[in-house]
Structure 1
Amino acid sequence: MCHKGRVSLDTKCTLQDLGTTRGKPNCARKQTNCMEILIVFLGDIPANLIKITSKSQRPIAPCARPVFLYTLNCRSARNKTSSICDLIISNDIDLLAITETWLGDSDQCVISELLPDGYKFIHKARSNGRSGGVALVYKSIMDVKAVSREDTFTHFEYLECIINFTRLCIIYRPPPSKKNQLRNSVFFYEWSHFLDSVVVDHRELIITGDLNFHLDNVQDPEGVKFLRILDDHGLVQHVKESTHSGGHILDVVIVRDSSSILYGEPCVTDPGLYDKNGNPAGDHLAICSKLTLSKPARERKSIKFRKLRDIVTSDLSDSIRSSFELQKGENSVEKSVNLYNTTLKNILDSLAPVQSKLITIRPDCPWYTSELRDAKRERRKAERQMRRTDLTVHKEIFRSHCTQVSKLAIHCKRSYYSSKIVEMGKDQKQLYHLTNRLMGAKSDVILLATVSLTGRSS
Structure 2
Amino acid sequence: MVSVARPVCTVPLSPYLTKARHRALGPARHHRPSVAFLTETWWNDSSAPDIAIAIPDGYKITRRDPTNGIGGGIAIVHKTTLKIHTHTDNTLKTAEHLHFRIHTDPNTTLRGTLIYQPPGPRAPFSDTIADLASTHALASTDYILLGDLNFHLENNNDANTASLTLNLSNLGLRQLVNTPTHIAGHTLDRVFSTSSHVTFSHTSELHWTDHHCVHFTFKKHTEHHRTPLPPHRRWSKVSEDQLTSTLAQNPPIDPTDPDTAAVNLHQWILNCANTLAPLKRPTVNQEKKKAAWFTDKLITSKRTCQKLKKKWLLERTPDSLQTHKEATRKHHHLIRLAKRSHFTERLNNNAHDSKELFCIVKELSNPSANVNDVPPSQKLCDALSTFFYQKIAVIHDSLNTTPPPDPTPDNSACANRLTTWTHVNDSETRKIMNSIHSGSPSDPCPHHVYNKANSTIAPQLRKIINLSFETATFPDSWKHADIQTLLKKPKADPNDLKNFRPISLLPFPAKVIEKIVNTQLTHYLEDNSILDTSQSGFRRNHSTETALLAAKDDIRQQMDNSETSALILLDLSAAFDTVCHRTLLTCLHEAGIQDKALNWISSFLSGRTQRVRLSPFRSEATNLICGVPQGSSLSPTLFNVYMAPLAQLARQHNLSILSYTDDTQLILSLTKDPHTTKANLHEGLKSIAEWMRISRLKLNSDKTEVLILGRTPSACDDSWWPTTLGPPPQHQPTTHATSASSSTPPSPCPNRSTQSHPPATTPSAYSVESTNGSQWKPEKL
Output one character per residue of 1:307-363: Cα deviation in whole Å (capped at 9) or x when no partner.
69x99xxx99xx99xx9xxxxxxxxxxxxxxxxxx9xxx9xx9xxx76988583655
Q: Counterpart amino acid of 2:131?
A: H
CA distance in 2, matches of 1:169, 1:448: 20
Equivalence map 1:411-426=2 (5 Å): 411-426=337-352
Q: Is the 8 A contact 2:60 2:368 kept in 1?
A: no
**1:443 aligns to what SS in structure 2?**
coil
Q: 1:66 aligns with which of 12, 26, 40?
A: 12
Q: Which residue of 1 aligns with 2:80?
A: 140
Q: Which residue of 1 aligns with 2:119?
A: 175
CA distance in 2, matches of 1:449, 1:426: 35
Q: State the Cα distance separating 1:261 from its structure 2 match.
A: 2.0
Q: State the Cα distance separating 1:417 from its structure 2 match.
A: 1.5
CA distance in 2, matches of 1:192, 1:241: 23
CA gap 1:428/1:296 in 2 versus in 1, 3 angstroms = farther
Q: 1:155 aligns with which of 73, 94, 97?
A: 94
**1:244 aligns to what SS in structure 2?**
coil
Q: 2:310 aligns with which of 384, 390, 405?
A: 384
Q: Is the 8 A contact 1:213 1:223 kept in 2?
A: yes
Q: State the Cα distance separating 1:245 from its structure 2 match.
A: 3.1
CA gap 1:369/1:196 in 2 versus in 1, 3 angstroms = same
Q: 2:209 aligns with which of 282, 305, 310?
A: 282
**1:214 aligns to what SS in structure 2?**
coil
Q: State the Cα distance separating 1:387 from its structure 2 match.
A: 2.1
CA distance in 1, matches of 2:54, 2:118: 24
CA distance in 2, matches of 1:239, 1:138: 22
Q: Which residue of 2 aligns with 1:408?
A: 334
Q: 1:360 aligns with which of 285, 289, 302?
A: 285
Equivalence map 1:313-392=2 (5 Å): 360=285, 362-363=287-288, 365-392=291-318
Equivalence map 1:72-87=2 (5 Å): 72-74=18-20, 76-77=21-22, 80=23, 84=25, 86-87=26-27
Where in structure 1 are there 5+ consecutive unaligned residues? Answer: 1-60, 177-182, 272-279, 324-341, 452-458
Equivalence map 1:2-401=2 (5 Å): 64-74=10-20, 76-77=21-22, 80=23, 84=25, 86-104=26-44, 107-149=47-89, 151-163=90-102, 164-176=108-120, 183-218=121-156, 222-256=160-194, 259-262=195-198, 264-270=199-205, 281-293=208-220, 302=232, 304-306=234-236, 360=285, 362-363=287-288, 365-401=291-327
Q: State the Cα distance separating 1:72 from its structure 2 match.
A: 1.9
**2:200 aligns to what SS in structure 1?**
coil
CA gap 1:418/1:117 in 2 versus in 1, 3 angstroms = same
**2:94 aligns to what SS in structure 1?**
coil
CA gap 1:153/1:306 in 2 versus in 1, 3 angstroms = closer
Q: Is the 8 A contact 2:61 2:75 kept in 1?
A: yes
Q: State the Cα distance separating 1:154 from its structure 2 match.
A: 2.4
Q: Is the 8 A contact 2:18 2:214 kept in 1?
A: yes
Output one character per residue of 1:206-227: Cα deviation in whole Å (capped at 9) or x when no partner.
0111111223345655444433
Q: Is the 8 A contact 1:299 1:361 kept in 2?
A: no
TM-score (normalizing by structure 1): 0.62
Q: State the Cα distance separating 1:126 from its structure 2 match.
A: 3.2
Where in structure 2 are there 5+ consecutive unaligned residues? Answer: 1-6, 103-107, 249-264, 371-489, 497-781
Q: Is the 8 A contact 2:176 2:192 kept in 1?
A: yes
Q: Counterpart amino acid of 2:17?
A: T
Output one character per residue of 1:190-235: Cα deviation in whole Å (capped at 9) or x when no partner.
2232233233324311011111122334565544443343334332
Q: Counterpart amino acid of 1:96?
A: A
CA gap 1:427/1:361 in 2 versus in 1, 3 angstroms = farther
Q: Which residue of 2 aligns with 1:437?
A: 363
**2:174 aligns to what SS in structure 1?**
strand
Q: Is the 8 A contact 2:126 2:160 kept in 1?
A: no
Output one character per residue of 1:285-325: Cα deviation in whole Å (capped at 9) or x when no partner.
222222114697588675744469x99xxx99xx99xx9xx
CA distance in 2, matches of 1:148, 1:375: 40
Moved more, 102-111 or 121-130: 102-111
CA gap 1:219/1:171 in 2 versus in 1, 3 angstroms = same
CA gap 1:246/1:143 in 2 versus in 1, 3 angstroms = same
Q: Counterpart amino acid of 1:165?
A: T
Q: State the Cα distance separating 1:394 from its structure 2 match.
A: 2.3
Q: Is the 8 A contact 1:122 1:447 kept in 2?
A: no
Q: State the Cα distance separating 1:367 from its structure 2 match.
A: 1.5
Q: State the Cα distance separating 1:391 from its structure 2 match.
A: 3.0
Q: Counterpart amino acid of 1:71?
A: L
Q: Counterpart amino acid of 1:414?
A: R
Q: Is the 8 A contact 2:200 2:215 kept in 1?
A: no
Moved more, 293-302 or 117-126: 293-302
**1:266 aligns to what SS in structure 2?**
strand
CA distance in 1, matches of 2:163, 2:9: 35
CA gap 1:447/1:428 in 2 versus in 1, 3 angstroms = closer
Q: Is the 8 A contact 1:118 1:139 kept in 2?
A: yes
Q: Is the 8 A contact 2:111 2:142 kept in 1?
A: yes
Q: Is the 8 A contact 1:121 1:137 kept in 2?
A: yes
Q: Is the 8 A contact 1:125 1:134 kept in 2?
A: yes
Q: State the Cα distance separating 1:172 from its structure 2 match.
A: 0.5
Q: Is the 8 A contact 2:30 2:302 kept in 1?
A: no
Q: Is the 8 A contact 1:112 1:443 kept in 2?
A: no
CA distance in 2, matches of 1:156, 1:242: 22
CA distance in 2, matches of 1:198, 1:155: 18
Q: Which residue of 1 aligns with 2:527?
A: none
Q: Which residue of 2 aligns with 1:28?
A: none
Q: Counterpart amino acid of 2:12?
A: P
Output one character per residue of 1:114-166: Cα deviation in whole Å (capped at 9) or x when no partner.
444443333223333233222222223323222454x4322111111122433
Output one character per residue of 1:352-398: Cα deviation in whole Å (capped at 9) or x when no partner.
x7698858365553211111111111221122222223333322322
**2:334 aligns to what SS in structure 1?**
helix
CA gap 1:389/1:122 in 2 versus in 1, 3 angstroms = same
Structure number with the bigger relative contact order (C-alpha 8 A, sep ≥ 6) is 1
Residue-pair matches, total: 336
Q: State the Cα distance separating 1:63 from its structure 2 match.
A: 6.8
Q: Is the 8 A contact 1:421 1:431 kept in 2?
A: yes
CA distance in 2, matches of 1:155, 1:128: 12
Aligned-residue CA RMSD (Å):
3.9
